[in-house]
Amino acid sequence: MEGANWRRWAGYTVASSYELLHDREYHAIRSSAALLDVTPLYKYLVTGKDAARLVDRVIVRDALHARVGQVMYTCWCDSAGKVIDDGTVSRLGDETFRITSADPSLRWFALNAAGLHAKIEDVTESTAALALQGPNARAILQQLTGADLAHLKYFRVVSTTLRDMPVQISRTGYTGDLGYEIWLHAHDALAIWDALIEAGTPYGIVPCGMLGLDMARIEAGLMLLEVDYVSAHRALIEGQKSSPYELNLGWAVDLKKEWFVGKDALALEAARGPAWRFIGIEVDWENLERLYAEVKLPPRLPAQAWRVSVPLYVEGRQVGYATSGCWSPLLKKYIALGHVEAAYGNPGSRLAMEVTVEHRRKQAAATVVPTPFFNPDRKRA
Amino acid sequence: MAANRYDAIVIGGGHNGLIAAAYLARAGRKVVVLERRERVGGAAVTEEIFPGFKFSMFSYVVSLLRPEIIRDLRLPEHGLQILPLESTLTPMENGDYFAAWADHDQTRRELLRHSALDAEAYDEYGRLMYHMAHAVKPILGMVPPDPASLRPRDLKGMLAVGNHFRSLGAEQFHAMFKLMTMSSADFLDEWFETDVLKATKSASGIIGTFLGPRSPGTAYVLLHHYMGELDGVFRAWGFQKGGTGGISEAIAASARSLGVAIRCGQTVQKVREKDGRVRGVVLENGDEIDANIVLTSLDPRRSFLELVDRKALPDEFVADISRFKFRGSSGKVNLALGALPDFTCMPGFGPHLRGAMSISPSMDYVERAYDDAKYGEFSKRPYMDIVIPSLIDPGMAPPGKHVMSVFVQYAPYNLNGGWTDAKREAFGDAVIGAIERFAPNIRSCIEHRQVLTPLDIERITGLSEGNIFQGELALHQLFFLRPAPGWARFRTPIRNYYQCGSGTHPGGGIMGASGRLGAMAVLEDHA
């Protein structure tokens, strides 16, 4: 590798890009296959007679009726119905769940386990995770495992072996593309990485760092904790918190469940309607081009995803803020994710996003569009 | 018959024809595209020449596809997916190499190995070319004004161009004048001392022309490479997933979604004209299709000297078109590989294989390649631009195997004694022999090979004399002179017969500007 640059992730160092530039790594996600080390994700194993009841009590989705082999993307809230974190919950067995999260969550699950026969174990260190994402992911992985990947549906997980090493393979990922995440013993990680690279080389596999991933996840409309929203546990003021409805996660909230943390507040909000909406934004190219032409420059766009708060306006009044954005090399569009007052959040709504053109603040016309920005059939097929 | 009546007929289903049709349909017109072959794309086609091995048979990289076309026709939604080609490796005769990488600083460090002076000059040169490209770029998207005309529209256009150039400042204006007049070799000599760097850069100035790097006027073409960079993030430079045919398919899909009828296997024999106005076309099978507007995306020779009754055209126009130079000078060798080539200068597998490999080891080498062609022979040691698309898009070949595209210059259309099968194979052998000098294992890697001479290119795609740009991209055939003085504005001497192919301004490459501007001319006249 030519020169990795490193970044912090949950106390580990991970590659921002394995090559000097992240472009090829990003394109591999959309064109061939990318291999990502996502081991620093926090991982918890919930076991015991009441495992399902504990998970169901914490998350907003229905865990009691989840089938073995099912994976759910979900969030969980505090008692005021404000989101603490989001992640995946996999039912590995009748009495075994694995939860992934962006923030440490052991304490929150433990606090909610009072009176239940369930054990929560932090397996972050002992379980490694590799994400194999991209259109060729299945062709590569199928060579190494006996599991029938053609019939492993989107958001399903299977326990199997990979070159005789025990793994779980889930049809999940953070790219919005065809892809798998492989969950394995940390001591097998290097061997499995090497096996994937070997099997994947004829299929164009490329090790991919966080910069490439960040662009893909924005195209997929997937939000990131501490970038696109603030955990209710970390918020310093009330205004920093968001409900699931305000994060476009209303679809996940199961108000028919008997009880879960935050249910009462969320039921009220569901009736009232959220104050904010989490939206996709597409910046109007002609307008951006014009802003740059005024200073005799061609439009300048970010070479990688940005993660700062950028004001959004309607008729000169600020109605929200974008939280991450990038130029999508695939869609040839400048896209962003952001929050707006609910009235301005419908697809087709016209906005203006602040852009800095040659040191001066300007407003570029933009439109609210549905997410995911990119949603290929192969993701689910 | 209503089914055979359209608002407009587009002759030729290459990228420009499809783009013109899509723009017309977007404006509400009922349009049909007539393509002679069984597939759309013209010279931008992907074909599975050998089982499991797919090739961008002719045009193999996309460089300048206009961003406004990508947006207007929503091409990414219809399958446009351009993957970057990041590096260029030039092996040298002495076993060393020159490599240009995607990372600017890495390239600078590589240059430092060859010349500290050039490493410094490299940045400065890059900045100047960027400014030059920025200065020239607006002209690409504009209908060229005729400086000899006194019509208000042309005067206004010239004024705009004049003001634009005046705004450049002395240094840039002078550089522009040099670019327009010098040879690429002389122009690069003013900047650099590293021969291999100059040879590689100058090679880009001769592609598709019947000129050598020491021929005056070739410097201008150097600029074209920097035009793509202006679009920066649009990254219109690279390799279309699935081959260049994927670009044509994406444009065709967009056109169909806008209501365009695309008919393949339909050869237009004649453009019907009456009283100086176009009426429709006659197909080879005798069928007639009616339309009051006809656009031709074919090259000027076919559009005017073959499809149209000569009596319908003014003599001087016919004379100008007859003089329009084609002189196809390039060939293509498509190789199916069982293993990867091993370059002596950079052994084994590495990122260099994913980029372009330029066989342009020295300025003399490239100029000598031209010398052969000048006297009617193919180059014994040709300049070559090599890519291995399967390393960028593994779907192009069976797993573990590869396809290699070798663009070869020079292979003159008018070969001494004419092209024969035996000469085609001799040309192919010369190409393999020339690669072998730098990658000795190449012969053992080859499972199949296809050799295309300019004659083959003409036969398959219809491009006159096999010229990949529908007419040489030489200064005397550009801008208001393309394809003929007075007729650069997409109109023709026959009313409602329009041009929209690469034989018009700005021409060449998978740019699409001609198709778009041709459609705009129609919409302007028939609002």
Which H or E element spans position A159?
strand A157-162
- Mean model confidence pLDDT for chain B: 91
DSSP B346: B
Residue range B90-102: mean pLDDT, rounded: 95
Report the distance separating Cα A214 and Cα A197, nearest Å: 22
- What's the rounded Cα separation, in Å, for the pair B489 and A264? 70
Which 8-state DSSP code applies to residue A310?
E
Q: How many CA atoms lie within 13 A of B51 on its CB side?
A: 0
DSSP letters of B234-258? G---BEETT-THHHHHHHHHHHHHT
Query: How many Å apart are CA A30 and CA B12, to the nearest integer?
Result: 32
Tell whether omega for the bond before B410 is within 30 degrees of 0, i.e. cis.
yes
How many residues are present in chain B? 527
The answer to whether B106 contacts A20, with C-beta atoms less than 8 Å apart, is yes
| pLDDT at residue B141, rounded to an integer | 63
Paired sense of beta strands A317-328 and A205-207, if any:
unpaired
Distance from CA of A371 to the nearest CA of B (A): 15
- Rounded to the nearest integer, the mean pLDDT of chain A is 95
Q: Locate B43 and state its tokens.
A: 């010279």
Give me the residue from B71, B103, B230 closest to A298, CB to CB.
B230
CA–CA distance, B267 with B261 (Å, rounded to integer): 15
Give the integer Cα–Cα distance in Å for B374 and B409.
Answer: 12
Residue B101: list chain A partners with CB under 8 A. Answer: 20
Residue of B nearest to A3 (CA): B106
Q: Is it the case that residue B359 has pLDDT exceeding 80?
A: yes
Q: According to the 3-state scheme, what is the secondary structure of B411-447?
A: CCCCCCCCCCHHHHHHHHHHHHHHHHCCCCCHHHHEE
Band the pLDDT of B156: cuts 50, 70, 90: confident
Classified as helix, coil or strand, A161 is strand
**Confidence at residue B527, expressed as pLDDT on a 0 to 100 scale:** 84
**B172 has pLDDT over 80:** no
Q: What percent of chain A has pLDDT over 90?
A: 92
Q: What is the mean pLDDT of residues B292-312?
A: 96
Cα–Cα distance for residue pair B203/B205, rounded to 1 Å: 5
Identify the weakest region by mean pLDDT among A193-197, A294-298, B145-149. Answer: B145-149
* Lowest model confidence (mean pLDDT) among A45-49, A79-83, B72-76, B171-175: B171-175
- With beta carbons under 8 A apart, name residues in chain A contacting B82: 329
Q: In sequence order, what DSSP letters do the residues of B280-325 get, joined into one string?
A: EEEETTS-EEEEEEEEE-S-HIIIIIISS-GGGS-HHHHHHHHH--
Residues A92-134: pLDDT tens digits? 999 999 999 999 999 899 999 999 999 999 999 999 999 999 9
pLDDT recorded at residue B140: 65
Question: Distance (Å, rounded) from C-alpha B323 to C-alpha B330?
Answer: 20
Taking the C-alpha atoms of residue B222 and residue A295, their distance in angstroms, rounded to an integer, is 26
CB contact under 8 A, B102 and A329: no
Q: Which chain A residues have a beta carbon less than 8 Å from that of B83?
A: 27, 31
In this complex, do A300 and B232 lie within 8 Å of one another by their Cβ atoms?
Answer: yes
pLDDT mean over A292-318: 93
User: At residue B480, what is the residue type?
Assistant: F
Residue A184 has pLDDT above 90, yes or no: yes
Model pTM score: 0.88
Tell me the H-state helices in A125-164.
Answer: 137-142
Residues 6 or more apart whose CB falls under 8 angstroms from that of B70 comprise A332, B76, B80, B234, B236
Looking at per-residue pLDDT, the higher value among B203 and B501 belongs to: B501
Query: Which chain B residue shows the shortest CA-CA distance from A29?
Result: B83
Tokens of A351: 């906005």
A 270-299 → B contacts, CB under 8 A: 285, 298
Residue A332 near chain B (CB below 8 Å): yes
Whether residue A332 and residue B230 make contact (CB cut-off 8 A), yes or no, is no
Of A316-325, B65-74, B381-390, give the lowest mean pLDDT range: B65-74
The reported pLDDT for the residue numbered B86 is: 84
What's the whole-number mean pLDDT along residues B458-482? 89
* Predicted confidence (pLDDT) per residue in B126-151, tens digit: 888 877 877 777 766 666 777 777 77
